[in-house]
Amino acid sequence: MGYPSLIVPIIVLAIFGVDFKKGFLLLQLFLWTDLVTTALKILVEYPRPYYVGKKAINLENNATSTSHCGDKKVINLENNTASTSLFSENGIKDIFALPDNQTLKTFHLKEACKLSSLGFPSGHVSLTTVLWEGIATVFNSRLIRILTTFAIVLMAFLRVYLGKHFIGDVFGGLIVGLISLGVFKYFLKSPMKRDFFKKESFELVLRRQNLIFYCFMFVIPIILITLSLVRLQPLNPCTVADLFGMVGPVFGMNIAYLLIIRKGIPSDTGSTEQRATRAFIAFLLFEVSKIILETCFCTGQMGDHYLCTMAETINYQPFAFLKCALIGFLKAFIPVFTIWVSVVICTKLNLYRKNEERL
């Protein structure tokens, strides 16, 4: 429910197989919530459960935790390895246990510069909330709205049960998701929704509405990453790569949209076979681009280790930061940018036509 392997096909199908405008609005909601959630993690700097104890085990990568903090017995069951999790040994009261001040101070000194160690708010919960309720909203589906509550509760339960989050983290993620949905629903009812799909709203002119859209699409992400760079100290090239990876999808999505709307938003006409073919092409390009990046730039799971090792061998020189920032950005930017490539290919193959009347 909160994993890319499920989320990407859903959003691709919505954009290319059902309704381009509604699907793209859903993508905007999802990526902006992800960006805001990550920025809040950095600003709050609160640890995950398995980073607060020497006895804690992080089984996501089948490795023993290297935490220097506290003494909590917390287990991460991400890879289905048998263990006891937060609900065992000391009872359900452990769900509400929080690190003491000394533990937090130690965490901030040892681990807080690593994005993967930050837990509040829960991204899985915030993204699950906006994904399913967002789908229910844009497609006006009562059934999905009913299932949304079940999906949120299940995701929150799993994140605590697997030792990935404290219970406060999942409540924080729920609040972020609900606030994002509130802003999104306000946007849908405002005139800005209609203007967002007008070509003239993105012309390079000094018009108030144009400036608002460009500020939202490009200036705010730059501000968020700047604040994050200032907050996360000391910086290392791996962390810089992660930070630029935060804004990569948003820039990829928005630049792709600018290219699409200048030529005309594609219509949603077509047979079931045409719609399925469009979605397949878009999903294929997305996945192929990720594989190419992992191969060429070493940005897979081994690639993260490679970036850190590379940075250490050149003593954190400015070149290391620049290279890691560029790789981190491209890793996140290019797969989302393939939306534009997919639209061009599908148009060339006559899988749908541009509908000028709908702009």
Segment 280-304 mean pLDDT: 79
Q: What proportion of the chain, given as a percentage, has pLDDT over 70?
A: 71
Neighbours of 108 (CB within 10 A): 14
* Mean pLDDT to the nearest integer, 103-128: 75
Burial of 54 (0-12, 13-18, 19+ CB in 10 A): middle
Q: What does the pLDDT read at residue 131?
A: 93
Measured CA to CA, the distance from residue 123 to residue 36 in angstroms comes to 10
β-bridge mates for residue 57, sequence order? 64, 75
3-state SS record for 246-266 = HHHHHHHHHHHHHHHHHHCCE
d(CA 73, CA 53): 7
Q: Do residues 239 and 113 lie in contact, with contact meaning Cβ atoms separated by under 8 Å?
A: yes
Question: What was the pLDDT predicted at 96?
Answer: 57
Q: Which tokens hold the place of 196?
A: 């967002």
Decide if pLDDT at 293 tops 80: yes
pLDDT of residue 111 exceeding 80 = no
Average pLDDT over residues 210-229: 91
Across the range 62-78, mean pLDDT stands at: 42
253-257 average pLDDT score: 96
Residue 75, pLDDT > 60, answer no
Among 30-34, 51-55, 309-313, whose mean pLDDT is lowest? 309-313
What's the whole-number average pLDDT of the chain?
A: 79
Half-sphere exposure of 286 (CA within 13 A, CB side): 24
Q: Is residue 113 over pLDDT 70?
A: no
The pLDDT tens digits for 80-90 are 443 333 443 33
What is the identity of the amino acid at 207?
R
Q: What is the pLDDT of residues 194-214, one digit of tens each?
A: 999 998 999 888 888 899 999
Distances (CA, A) of 68 to 54, 127, 257: 6, 30, 45
Average the pLDDT over each of 80-84, 222-226, 235-239, 297-301 and give the range with the smallest value: 80-84
Name which of 169-178, 211-220, 322-331 the model is least confident about.
322-331
Nearest 5°: phi and psi at 118? -90, 135
1-15, 19-33, 238-252, 264-278: which range is least confident on average? 1-15
| Beta-carbon contacts of residue 234 (< 8 Å; ≥ 6 apart) | 113
Strands of the sheet containing 75-76, edge to edge, are: 63-64, 57-58, 75-76
What's CA 236's distance to the chain center, in Å? 21
359 pLDDT higher than 50 = no
157 token code pair? 């339960």
Select the more confidently predicted residue: 116 or 157: 157
Tokens 């890879």 -> residue: 79
Q: What is the 3-state secondary structure (H, E, C) of the chain?
A: CCCHHHHHHHHHHHHHHHCHHHHHHHHHHHHHHHHHHHHHHHHHCCECHHHCECCCEECCCCEECCCCCCECCCEECCCCCCCCCCCCCCCHHHHHCCCCHHHHHHHHHHCCCCHHHECCCCHHHHHHHHHHHHHHHHCCCHHHHHHHHHHHHHHHHHHHHCCCCCHHHHHHHHHHHHHHHHHHHHHHHCHHHHHHCCHHHHCCCCCHHHHHHHHHHHHHHHHHHHHHHHHCCCCCHHHHHHHHHHHHHHHHHHHHHHHHHHHCCECCCCCHHHHHHHHHHHHHHHHHHHHHHHHHHCCCHHHHHHHHHHHHHCCCCHHHHHHHHHHHHHHHHHHHHHHHHHHHHHHHCCCCCECHHHC
- Comparing 255-259, 299-303, 327-331, 342-346, the range with the smallest average pLDDT is 299-303
Of 106-120, 148-162, 292-306, the least confident: 292-306
If phi > 0 it is left, if psi is from -120 to 50 it is alpha, else beta; for residue 314 that is alpha
pLDDT at 24: 95
